[in-house]
Structure 1
């Protein structure tokens, strides 16, 4: 669980609610079902129109990364690469075939399979780099769906406000009902701006960060596998991968 993400959302919503209350507002007045349906439904519909099915599904699968971050320990990963190196030097690349077939990380499994199959170091590097580049772009494209939602949401909120004003005008002869209708209409604008700046755009940036962390982890695995192919010693491989150690204890995994 990413406690900072949860805390950030709570702090943002609480600050707005408390500030509104201190100004004399009634918190219950901010809840309006029709306005929420217009803004949220319109925003989701717009991004569905512009996004491919595969990207939209990937975005949904990635959403939990904002608050829940399954991870690998970077130190354990380096030790794992060192064990692969020891095994390859002592028993040959074919000894890593079981690892390639059973490893839980698809990218690592493919790298080990290429290593077992033989081939030049350059071919191995080119293949892993292309896979890494394409996977990064696919994941970032999914994260950018939330950016699009952050762009559409305020505009849909204005649309909802206009629709509310049209409805409020039916009470033009009753100033009391007209005032209440106008106030309700502007709640759609609040929803549009609030969802964009408190949820959609922050989620997009957090997902991009998660993607880059995952790519860094895979880049480290690629460098380790390439170093094994180059015949480097486990000690040299560890020294090479030291650069990937970071202060946080783990990196995200899909």
Structure 2
């Protein structure tokens, strides 16, 4: 919601300052539909040309993420750490084979069912199950596992970052598209060069609305949204880093409590549960 509020404040200050300075809205309102059609249509066309349909859908979903913010909060980190604690404790006390029933069919696992948000996160389930499965196959070198998870996390981040890059590319193109619309307005004006100065002034003003819109949409809307989405993706990436930290600490031979504490420290500061809060949850943890 801060993104919407910021954009509204931007519009108020820009147009408020224009009005206080004595600017007239008539020429802007008259030219706005045509200029927006040219600039917006060109932007959409360029965006579709430069992205696959999967990336287009992914970017559209990114707009919703910008409004909602990060999916993960303190309670989500508590749930993730609780689930990982239960898994590493089970592996330590009963052996890696005891995990098989949970990692082969996670949708039927009581552990994942207790935490439905984790169970519904494809990346989280894949990371947990795949690498616990590898441990059961004696691939228990912590350095190798850490490197493999790191490469997968890098791939996930690159894929999730594509909408941000697409938005930034669009932001970079919008000023030029605004110039295109403005040039067309100048061409229209030159074709009516025999008109009185008052008419020509209005036509030139209308043409400049295109430049104004292109710059405003680029630096006042698309650019900030691309930056905001990048920040959200970076923050959400910490959620999966917690999984890596706990599993690697477990493979290094640390006790479940120590492995989970290692993961807790990776969580973003504003979403990181305190040691006492997590400890009280782990003491009461019960999974059928």
Do they fold alike, i.e. is TM over 0.5? yes
Note if contact 1:155-1:192 (Cα within 8 Å) is conserved in structure 2: yes
The normalised TM-score by structure 2 is: 0.78
Show the counterpart of 1:67: 67
Q: Which residue of 2 aligns with 1:128?
A: 149
- Residue of structure 1 in register with 2:133 after alignment: 116
Partner of 1:33: 33
Report Cα offsets for 1:125-154 as digits up to 9, x if no partner. Answer: 333222111111122233111111111100
Contact 1:75 / 1:245 at 8 angstroms: preserved in 2? no
Q: Structure 1 residues 111, 230: closer, same or farther in 2, change over 3 A?
A: farther
Work out the CA distance in 1 between the residues paired with 2:229 and 2:100: 33
Q: Give the stretch that moved more between structures: 140-149 or 228-237.
A: 228-237
**CA distance in 2 between partners of 1:246 and 1:127 (Å):** 23
Match of residue 219 from structure 2: 197
Q: Distance in 2 between matches of 1:105 and 1:96?
A: 19
Retained in 2: the 8 A contact 1:108–1:222?
A: no
**Do the aligned partners of 2:153 and 2:240 also contact (CA within 8 Å) in 1?**
yes
Question: Where does residue 168 of structure 1 map in the other structure?
Answer: 189
Tell me the residue number matched to 2:121: 105
> How far off is 1:194 after superposition?
0.4
TM superposition shift of 1:188: 0.6
Q: Is the 8 A contact 2:3 2:67 kept in 1?
A: yes
| Residue 233 (structure 1) aligned with residue 259 (structure 2) | no
- 1:77 to 2:80 alignment: yes
Match of 1:57 in 2: 57
The residue number in structure 1 matching 2:167 is 146
What does residue 42 of structure 2 align with? 42
Deviation by residue 1:34-90 (Cα, 9 ceiling, x = unmatched): 100111111222233233333333222222111112324333332332222223223
Q: Any idea what SS the aligned residue of 1:171 has?
A: coil
Q: Deviations over 1:200-236 (max 9, x none)?
A: 1111111111111122211111211233344421221
Verify the 8 A CA contact 1:66 1:206 in the aligned structure 2. Answer: yes
CA distance in 2, matches of 1:157, 1:194: 10
| Corresponding residue for residue 231 of structure 2 | 209
Compute the RMSD of aligned alpha carbons: 2.2
Tell me, in whole angstroms, the C-alpha distance in 2 between the residues paired with 1:47 and 1:212.
24
Secondary structure in structure 1 of the residue aligned to 2:270: coil
Gaps of 5+ in 1: none
208-217 or 77-86, which deviates more: 77-86
Task: Output the CA distance in 2 between the equivalents of 1:235 and 1:105.
Answer: 24
Q: Which has the larger radius of gyration?
A: 2
TM-score, normalised relative to structure 1: 0.87
Q: CA deviation digits over 1:2-26, x for unaligned, max 9?
A: x322221111111111111101123
SS in structure 2 of the partner of residue 186 of structure 1: helix
Return the offset for 1:27. Answer: 3.5
Deviations 1:148-176 (A, max 9, x none): 11111000101100101111233322222
Do the aligned partners of 2:3 and 2:225 also contact (CA within 8 Å) in 1? no
Secondary structure in 1 matching 2:23: coil
Alpha-carbon distance in 2 for matches of 1:94, 1:29: 73
